[in-house]
Amino acid sequence: MRVPNGGLAALVAAVAVAAVAGGGALAYRQGPQANAEGAVAAPLSTSPSATIPSATTPGTPSSTPTPSQTTSTSATRPKTKIDLKKLTQGRAPQVAYLSGRTIRGGAGNDITIPGTTDIQQVARLGITSLAVVTKGFGNELLTFDDNGKIVRHTPDVTQILTTADGTAAAYLGSKLRSTGEAVAGATVYAEDAKTQDIQKLQVPGVWNATLRGYTNGKVYFDASTTQDGTTTLYEWTPGDSTATQLKAIPSAMAVSSIDTAGSLTTLANQNSCSSLLTVPAGTRLWRTCDYIIGGFTPNAATVIAGPKYEDGYGQGVAAALDAKTGNLIHEWSGVFRQTVPEDDQHLLLLADDGEGTPAAIVRCTITTGACERATPLAKGELQIGA
């Protein structure tokens, strides 16, 4: 679940259609092995009576883990606690990520972002690289060619969201007063990597606008009409002069490739609930009060979720749910600052042991729960791209 940037987005960077297919297949073949020694450590339960679900049970591990990666005792709630120091080292992330001030992974060359300003978010758009950086009281979007040259500055952008195949990107922003105070209204952009065409939409009179999906040729964002009001989902087809408000989808968290959306339907101090709704009708398919829906794998078969209550630094739980039923496939515990899909079979978790501790991007297989480090455990700036 993609909390630091206002929600999860499905992320897979690619240089071309062939590269997308090849990269996805490679990620599937070379994912963490269920029985790899040290893949997952410090089980939540080490009871001698612990039982592992049958391989024929949907959404459960296909083989018995080694002692270093034992799942919990419940056959319906497989859980794994991640110990970063005990994970084996795997291959680098196959999507864009930021290490230090360098954008790596996905399509294109490694690109170093100049200067010393804070880097809020990075992404790949084809072989183009995007970075949201701090500027004054606000932010701006820097666009780099494949040689690292800045070819465009876009002011006031606060968020990027790419399509699952990396061929298009949406970005969004709003103006701030010189004091840093927010101003009503938002601007939404959509850029096509192949044509380099950029569409722009002004959305006056809205607050708290956040991108929630770019799929099937449509950009989704949620926003409120008052500064402290409940947000609702908007749908925009790039090139249209207006966006359509979808009033049946309140407090959207993410929109999938099969026209479903996670909606925060009940917000309480320590026990929130979320629902999977159809888009645009808002028909509820199922509800969970165990997790908050935050995103989807590219094929929308798996819902990515986080804890029903969060407070302070990072999230203590990341979970994969069956999108048809809402049933738990696997849950990981640790300290996670980002959770995004690498492809349909794997999640990437930006994990550490608390503020100021070494961090790593961890790759976990959705069906088995097995994990490995995708980047070395180290201090310094680390982000998963959008």
379 located within any domain: yes
Radius of gyration, CA atoms only, the chain? 20
pLDDT at 270: 65
258 located within any domain: yes
Instruction: Please state whether the peptide bond connecting residue 67 to the residue before it is cis, i.e. omega within 30 degrees of 0.
Output: no
Q: Indicate if the alpha-carbon torsion angle 278, 281, 286, 291 is positive or negative.
A: positive
At residue 351, the 3 state secondary structure works out as: strand
What pairs with residue 202 in β-bridges?
187
Residue-wise pLDDT tens digits, 155-207: 999 999 999 999 999 999 988 777 778 889 999 999 999 888 999 999 999 99
What letter represents residue 198's amino acid? I
- pLDDT band at residue 311, thresholds of 50, 70 and 90? low
Residue 314 has pLDDT above 70, yes or no: yes
Residue 46 has pLDDT above 90, yes or no: no
At residue 343, the 3 state secondary structure works out as: coil
C-beta of residue 369 within 8 angstroms of C-beta of residue 70: no
Written as six digits, the tokens of 45 are 């339960």
Residue-wise pLDDT tens digits, 202-244: 999 999 999 999 999 999 999 999 988 899 999 999 999 999 9
Distance from C-alpha of 333 to C-alpha of 160, rounded to nearest angstrom: 27
- pLDDT band at residue 58, thresholds of 50, 70 and 90? very low
Number of Cβ within 10 Å of residue 384's Cβ equals: 27
2 located within any domain: no
Distance from C-alpha of 373 to C-alpha of 93, rounded to nearest angstrom: 9
- Using alpha carbons only, give the angle 316, 233, 262 rounded to the nearest 5 degrees: 35
Contacts of 223 by beta carbon, 8 Å cutoff, 6+ apart: 186, 203, 206, 207, 208, 209, 210, 231, 232, 234
Residue-wise pLDDT tens digits, 82-108: 999 999 999 999 999 999 999 999 888
Number of folded domains that form the chain:
1
Q: What is the average per-residue pLDDT within 291-299?
A: 96
CATH of the domain at 240: 2.130.10.10
The mean-pLDDT minimum among 41-50, 309-318, 329-338 falls in 41-50
Distance from C-alpha of 288 to C-alpha of 275, rounded to nearest angstrom: 6
Distance from C-alpha of 181 to C-alpha of 368, rounded to nearest angstrom: 46
Alpha carbon of residue 345 to chain centroid: 14
- pLDDT band at residue 268, thresholds of 50, 70 and 90? low
3 located within any domain: no
284 located within any domain: yes
pLDDT at 38: 33
pLDDT at 25: 33
Distance from C-alpha of 145 to C-alpha of 149, rounded to nearest angstrom: 5
What letter represents residue 101's amino acid? R
- Which residues span the domain enclosing 200? 17-42+57-384
Q: What is the average per-residue pLDDT within 75-86?
A: 83
Residue 32 main-chain phi, psi, to 5 deg: -55, 140
Distance from C-alpha of 171 to C-alpha of 180, rounded to nearest angstrom: 20
DSSP one-letter code for 309: -
164 located within any domain: yes
DSSP one-letter code for 33: P
C-beta of residue 1 within 8 angstroms of C-beta of residue 9: no
65 located within any domain: yes
At residue 84, the 3 state secondary structure works out as: helix
182 located within any domain: yes
Q: What is the average per-residue pLDDT within 23-37?
A: 40
CA distance to 94, 122, 165, 354, per residue, from 337 (Å): 19, 15, 24, 10
